[in-house]
Chain A
Amino acid sequence: MARRSRTKTPIAEQDPAIRKSNFDEVCLGYTIEEGQAEAIRCLQCKNAPCVTSCPVMIDIPGFILSIKEGDMQEAVDILGKYTNLPAICGRVCPQEKQCEQVCKLGMNKNFEPVAIGKLERLVADWALENQAFSKHIQNNEPKNGRIAVIGSGPSGLTVAGDLAKRNYEVIVYEALHDSGGVLIYGIPEFRLPKRIVKKEIEKIEALGVTIETNVVVGKTITMDEIIDEFDACYISVGAGAPNFMEIPGTALNGVYSSSEYLTRINLMHSYEFPKYDTPMKRSNHVVVVGGGNVAMDAARSAKRLGAEHVSIVYRRSLEELPARIEEYHHSVEEDIDYHWLTNPIEYINNGAGELKGVKCVKMELDEPDESGRRRPVPIKNSEFIIEADTVIEAIGQGSNKVLLTTFPELKLTKWGYIEADPKTGTTSIPGVFAGGDIVTGAATVILAMGAGKVAAVEIDRYVRGKKNTPVTTKSLRKDKR
């Protein structure tokens, strides 16, 4: 123990003063030498607790040992057995609540856990740089079946990748013009560069997966057609419908959902307007409502767009903040202010239909509720106004009803999510599987991937059980080359 560093090997980051005006990645990642220095800290536990607290059960000591020994290719191969999107998970997983939380090294007094996420990222980035992967060459081997995946977010991509590896013909249908779901429209460039997402997706396509963009299932093609033409399908459409607080003034110009704000920036590149056509307003005083990662992303994006003053209004306190602690620290370094125990009650009109301020009320914490968190209640006569020309509500999302309303046979929960067995992904309809946020409500990338891994195994079992004769390949779409 004596020779192990107590703290994580430091990692290079862009200086806050510089990065708050650009969209480049904040964390620059380990060099191989730094990675090896960090890998040495791993205790190589038998029955390592980090493995069981990873939703896809990566052999963490295994790949870290390979780094330590300088065999990057072996580390890549080990990761590849468990995850299809390591460069993404290494960046956006809340490791402090998963693998790193139970790291035995970190359990020792005054010791930080091994930087598992940063090491995963190192290996994945090395692979993207150094490993050649070519487009899949169609073999003549009969496929085990045809599977439709609806939604190309992390859950859908995982199912698609895993089933392609099991020799299935997989077609992924995506409503937007780019694939990746929240990875492409939600999480900003400075946390997750889009070239990384695109490369990871190319890797999945190289396995033989076809991604059809601009297809809204329920509209462009129906669930009946999917059920007719495929042996099974996986619904992973996420929880992408924004909630609004519905307080007075919600319709004012300058009031955004975080989904709209981030979609404009990330998917449509409005931060590069007018080089790109999608406009974004210039703001001076921005208020973001909420305390999750999405709120952090929106606030930090607003700062990068040149807003003079950005503050986050959160109805609980720092202790309850659901955002990743690393991102909270980054936001503070970038001059984002916090109004703790505060809730907006009205958006104020400047007389021309535009926002001029956010009327808030101070909150105090009552007894814990069913979720175990202390319930915030407003304090009487504590109203005050924050000057703002832009407000972004990041208070969570619900299930998008477009597909579900056209498929009434599918059983939903009382919250409007799909009722699916978390152990298998099976729904009320045989052959229709579901996973990710459309089952759990808004959660994390890695949980969505975990659900995808489980479902891929079950889909394979289901299709093998259903039939023994292989099918021929034919494309459902008429208008794609």
Chain B
Amino acid sequence: MHKISKSKQLSENEYDFWINAPLIASKAKPGQFVILRINEIGERIPLTIADADDSSGNIRLVFQVIGKTTAELGKLTTGDTILDLTGPLGMPTEIKKYGTVMIAGGGVGIAAILPIVKGLKNAGNRVITILGAKTAELVILQKECREYSDELIIATDDGTLGMKGLVTAAMEHVINKETVHCCWAIGPSMMMKFCTLTATKHEVPIFVSLNPIMIDGTGMCGGCRVTIDGSIKFACVDGPEFKGTEVNWDEFISRMKQYKTEEETCLAGYQKAQVINRG
């Protein structure tokens, strides 16, 4: 059992938890994730480790409510417990000195870039961070990202904060003004696909972090398989980070939708039960 030691609501559907898990906190590196299961009837879902504090034994998870499990998780608060937490899983980001790096996070993906931003800054890089979201209130973790960035650009779809437009426009803007040695993009699959196209156009190497459907997260089922440079890889053990140019995006996006109907059924059932419980 893992206790939620701190919890905070970031936006209408986004939550920020610190959870007690000393073994994971002592090992977690940027780019890695955990698998969690809330209770006995729960499913296993992957979430990126947004931060880890070895001294207090806590890890930070930031998530968006998109289905039943995240809705249920969002109902939990400080002092509540989570049944199973496994990690840290996946290969860490290759943190080293590249020179100038650009890291783009979209929506809840901003939480996933935070440890990478931090790691690359501490490794002596010039860090340009781009935060993208639909609207101002969804631009999460601004303060933390700013702390570890030499430059921070915010882009919102509706122009309520920072520049109006997509992160790809912000990427163009940066690349046109200075040399970028390497970049990262984490967020919705469409965003990562288009960030890859933008980076490739300017011949900047790009890494993305894939978030396919996972079950065990330890390489024993292949549910998370993706085609990378023409061959099958398991995102949970070979990734989740891959070169954006090597990802078969259409296939990846199609496989994400596999359980759409079932996921909707499950969420609807949960919401109905919630309404009944509230009388």
Chain A positions near chain B (C-beta within 8 angstroms): 175-177, 213-216, 219-221, 240-242, 244, 246, 250-251, 253, 256-257, 259-260, 263-264, 268-269, 273-281, 353, 400-402, 477-479, 481
Contact = CB atoms under 8 A, between A and B. Distances in A.
B86 A279 contact: no
**Which 8 pairs show the lowest CB-CB distances between chains A and B?**
A279-B262, A353-B254, A277-B43, A260-B221, A240-B220, A177-B84, A278-B43, A214-B86
Contact of B27 (A213, A220, A250, A281): A220
Contact of B216 (A246, A253, A263, A274): A263
B87 A274 contact: no
Interface string B13-56: 00000001111100100000000010001111000000000000
Given A221-B27, A275-B41, A479-B20, 13 more contacts: A214-B85, A220-B87, A242-B221, A253-B257, A260-B223, A268-B44, A273-B266, A274-B265, A353-B251, A353-B254, A353-B255, A353-B257, A478-B23
Contact of A219 (B2, B27, B84, B221): B27
Interface in B76-99: 83-89
A contact patch SS: loop
A126 B256 CA distance: 47
Contacts of B24: 220
Interface string B216-247: 10111111010100011000010000000000
A220 B21 CA distance: 10
22 contacts: A175-B218, A176-B216, A176-B218, A214-B86, A216-B87, A220-B23, A221-B27, A244-B222, A251-B227, A257-B222, A257-B223, A268-B215, A277-B43, A277-B68, A277-B266, A278-B44, A279-B262, A279-B263, A400-B219, A479-B2, A479-B21, A481-B1
B100 interface: no
B266 A400 contact: no
Contacts of B37: 177
B215 A251 contact: no
B contact patch SS: mixed
A279 B261 CA distance: 10
A362 B199 CA distance: 47
B69 interface: yes
A478 B57 contact: yes
A385 B210 CA distance: 34
Nearest to A239: B220
Instruction: Output the residue of A256, A279, A401 with the most chain B CB within 10 A.
Output: A279
Interface in B186-217: 215-216
A251 B225 contact: yes
A278 B89 CA distance: 20
Contacts of B262: 273-274, 279-281
Given A263-B215, A274-B266, A220 B222 contact: no
B218 A400 contact: yes
Contacts of A260: 215, 221-223
Interface string B150-185: 000000000000000000000000000000000000
B247 to A, nearest CB: 12
Nearest to B45: A277
A93 B27 CA distance: 40
A279 B269 CA distance: 13
A279 B266 contact: yes
A269 B43 CA distance: 9
Contacts of B1: 481
Contacts of B44: 177, 268, 278
Contacts of A259: 220-222
Nearest to A218: B218
B258 interface: yes
B64 interface: no
A279 B89 CA distance: 23
Nearest to A213: B84
Contacts of B57: 478-479
Contacts of A219: 27, 87-89
A186 to B, nearest CB: 10
Contacts of A477: 23
A277 B42 contact: yes
Contact of A241 (B22, B89, B219, B248): B219
B22 A478 contact: yes
A263 B214 CA distance: 11
A216 B237 contact: no
Contacts of B222: 242, 244, 257, 259-260
B9 to A, nearest CB: 23
Nearest to A478: B22
B259 A281 contact: yes
Contacts of A281: 258-259, 262
B86 A177 contact: yes
Contacts of A269: 41
A87 to B, nearest CB: 23
Nearest to A393: B222
Instruction: Output the residue of A240, A241, A278, A477 with the most chain B CB within 10 A.
Output: A278
Nearest to B32: A219
A402 B219 contact: yes
A321 B172 CA distance: 59
Contact of A251 (B2, B41, B248, B265): B248
B257 to A, nearest CB: 8
A402 B87 CA distance: 12
A278 B223 CA distance: 13
A10 B232 CA distance: 48
Contacts of A241: 219-220
Contact of B255 (A176, A214, A253, A257): A253
Given A244-B222, A281-B259, A401-B219, A274 B269 contact: yes
A277 B222 CA distance: 19
Nearest to A353: B254
A336 B153 CA distance: 60
Nearest to A242: B222
Contact of A244 (B41, B232, B237, B248): B232
Contacts of A402: 218-219, 237
Instruction: Output the residue of B216, B251, B266 with the most chain A CB within 10 A.
Output: B216
A175 to B, nearest CB: 5
A240 B222 CA distance: 10
Nearest to B223: A260
Contacts of B68: 277
Contacts of B215: 260, 263-264, 268, 278
Contacts of A220: 23-24, 27, 86-88
